[in-house]
Amino acid sequence: MSELAYDVAGSGEPLVLVHGLASSRRCWDLVIDDLARDFTVYAIDLPGHGESAPVPGQSETPATEMALAVGRFLDAQGIDRAHMCGNSLGGWTVLEAAADGRASSVVALCPAGLWEPITEPMGMIQFNRRSAVMLRRALPAIMKVPPLRRTLVRAGAERPAQVPYRVAVDAALAQADATGFTQAHDGALHRRFERADAISTDVPVVIAFGDNDRILPYPRFQKRDLAPDHARWDVLWNCGHAPMWDLPRVTTELIRTTAAGSTAG
């Protein structure tokens, strides 16, 4: 399998940032500089997203497989364990990576997988993907019109007016260009996170959902009984599905305080 594309910044303990379905490592651009003051930050592209090739020969790539790809990435960097933060599918992925023993601490932002297994494609996700593909060439121009940009990022952000042009464009292009979209999407169907008991209690876990998450709304997609018993569950107010856009400072402090509580070696 090909290597994962990534950016690295800063110095300190390793921190891996994992994006969601049909996204890319660019989704973390509003928080990386802040985090790089305290961590060596690795923002990665999951298989079939951003600049990473999809897993060859697979029709489905579940979060367990994504987590193994993260583990191989850590091996390539000579890292045993890292602090991890993931959003949406990335949140599910870092929980699986923690169950694999690769996390020192975990912040799962609006994670997928804490649900009764989904058997049909989710309408909003499919609509967003089709729209991005159809409008691919016009996206940079469309995003220059503030009212249109706010409308297009509204599904993910509760505060769309504060999402910068470049972040919005990168997010839309990532939606259109995700070669592994179908693999990752279908890999989430008929599955859920089921390995909470495998996450060591010495690994701090925080699960945080926006109070107005339109992609994974409460209560259907936010089942607390699927989280580790020792996990802290936070609700982020005036926040949508992408806390790193709506609440970048809250996001970075959540990562810092969770990492500070780690005793995992």
pLDDT tens digits along 20-64: 999 999 999 999 999 999 999 999 999 999 999 998 888 999 999
When the pLDDT of each residue in the chain is averaged and rounded to a whole number, the result is 96
**The predicted structure's pLDDT at residue 265:** 54
Number of domains in the chain: 1
Residues pairing with 206 in the sheet? 107, 232
Q: What range defines the domain where residue 220 resides?
A: 6-260
Sign of the Cα pseudo-torsion (61, 204, 107, 260, in order): negative
**Which own/partner pairs from 143-152 qualify as long-range (CB within 8 Å, at least 24 positions apart)?**
143/168, 143/169, 143/172
Examine residue 265 and state whether it is found in any structural domain, yes or no. no
Query: How far is C-alpha 103 from the geometric centre of its chain's CA atoms?
Result: 15
Which region among 18-22, 72-76, 178-182, 261-265 has the lowest average model confidence (pLDDT)?
261-265
Is 1 inside any structural domain?
no
Q: Give the domain CATH number at 53.
A: 3.40.50.1820
Q: What is the pLDDT of residue 28?
A: 98
